[in-house]
Amino acid sequence: MRFSYLAAALLEASVAFAAPSQESHALEERSSSRPKHPAHPFHPGHHFPDSPKRTKTCTVKTHGKGKDDSNYILEAIKKCNNGGRVVFSKKTTYVVATALDLTFLKHVDLDIQGTIKFSNDTDYWQKNAFKQIYQNATTFFQLGGTDVNVYGGGTLDGNGQVWYDLYAKDIYILRPILFGTIGLHGGVISDIKLRYSPQWYNFVANSTNVVFSNIDIEGDSINANPAKNTDGWDTYRSSNIVIQNSHINNGDDCVSFKPNSTDIVVQNLICNGSHGISVGSLGQYKGQVDIVKNVYVYNISMSNASDGARIKVWPGISSAFSGDLQGGGGLGQVSNITYDTMQVSNVDYAVEITQCYGQKNLTLCNQYPSSLVIKDVVIKHFRGTTSKKYDPIVGYLVCSSPSVCSNILIEDVVVTSPKGMNSWTCGNVPGASGMVNCTTST
């Protein structure tokens, strides 16, 4: 099913702010008006539920002096749940040293004007962060429920440097994800800054009808130990999701669509230093069925990255990408994926499609082709230049078998290498030579 791409479609989830009826004028002055962020210009095509006005306000207290404020946060949220607004005050730093299960939320706004900083107690977080099943993912907190909005212009700080240093010594540690959207059905996460996440910045799992807009992501290491695996967003078992109008400066996928991500729009992003907008990786777990379909990616600026558009699938045999990331042999399908309009600068590949993710031995990969099908992919309207890494190659289109890749269309991709060339590596992609300059093949 193709999207009904509605230009200037309005997101019904945004509603006018109403002043609280049960709080003082001073509290009203400290709260923010809920911003409006319609899905624009594209929309997944499904209805977003209304978000009614909030009628009470609770301001979160703080202990100060670096003490754990988790009890005050829970107290305010429980008091204003079911119809209220929770304010994290401007110029205030709230310390969180306790894992917070916030999956009970209903009809509540979190107005984060100050800073929420997670403690650097790595021993505690490895034992107590919430395990999210997929790829050993864990989160500092998990936010879920019905009709939840987060905004305010404030900051969530993951205190990542201590994790970057620890990971450099031990790749098997469990590093928490900064923002866990887990089981949220209806909501807008907007107008916040995410800094120094230990691993991925956002994990969106088992969620529906959520918009992310005007999010600012950044946080690099201050020493030789890099900030690794810092994806901007990873979606998993989620649908009707919009990610838009944001700036991402990170060290891994800008956005990645993990298994069973459907009906998703990603638009108007500025990505720097990433691994591209990626479908996958998929087919990692033997016997499991991974589906990614109905994805529209529009108007992306991609700079200093390994890839622009990327589809990555594990082969049909067990492989090891790294010591803490290995797999292969999974089933499933990638279908109805569109990358429309991307400006690339200093990217290694403008486009990469591979079914040999994690397997360096291409002969072995072809002997055990992926069982995961890639079909109905459109990549169009790309402009820019690649890096020197693969010069004169600008793109990589290689499937492990032509029987599992079909209807892949590349059109109006005008990207050149530093030498001014536009050669592509092609293999087992039917019709590739008629669409791009396949001067090399595998």
The two counts, helices (H) then strands (E), for the chain are: 5, 29
Q: Is residue 427 part of a domain?
A: yes
Please tell me which residue in 40, 43, 107, 275 is annotated as part of the active site: 275
Q: Which two tokens stand for residue 86?
A: 């929770």
The length of the chain is 442
Q: Is residue 240 part of a domain?
A: no
Q: Is residue 68 part of a domain?
A: no
The closest of 328, 334, 333, 335 to 283, measured between CA atoms, is 328
Q: Is residue 291 part of a domain?
A: yes
Average pLDDT score, the chain:
91
Q: Is residue 336 part of a domain?
A: yes
Q: Is residue 417 part of a domain?
A: yes
> For residue range 422-440, what is the model confidence (pLDDT) as tens digits?
999 999 999 999 999 999 8
Contact (CB, 8 A) for 266 and 292: no
Q: Is residue 393 part of a domain?
A: yes
Q: Is residue 8 part of a domain?
A: no
Half-sphere exposure of 350 (CA within 13 A, CB side): 35
Give the number of domains in the chain.
Answer: 1
Q: What are phi and psi of 379, to 5 degrees?
A: -125, 115
Q: Quick one: pLDDT band at residue 23, thresholds 50, 70, 90?
A: very low
Q: Quick one: pLDDT band at residue 385, thresholds 50, 70, 90?
A: very high
Reply yes or no on whether 275 is catalytic.
Answer: yes
Share of the chain above pLDDT 70, in %: 92
Q: Which two tokens stand for residue 88?
A: 């994290």
Contact (CB, 8 A) for 430 and 402: yes
The pLDDT of residue 283 is above 80: yes
For 318-370, list the strands marked E by DSSP. Answer: 319-322, 325-327, 331-347, 349-354
Instruction: Provide the residue range defining the domain that includes 356.
Output: 275-442
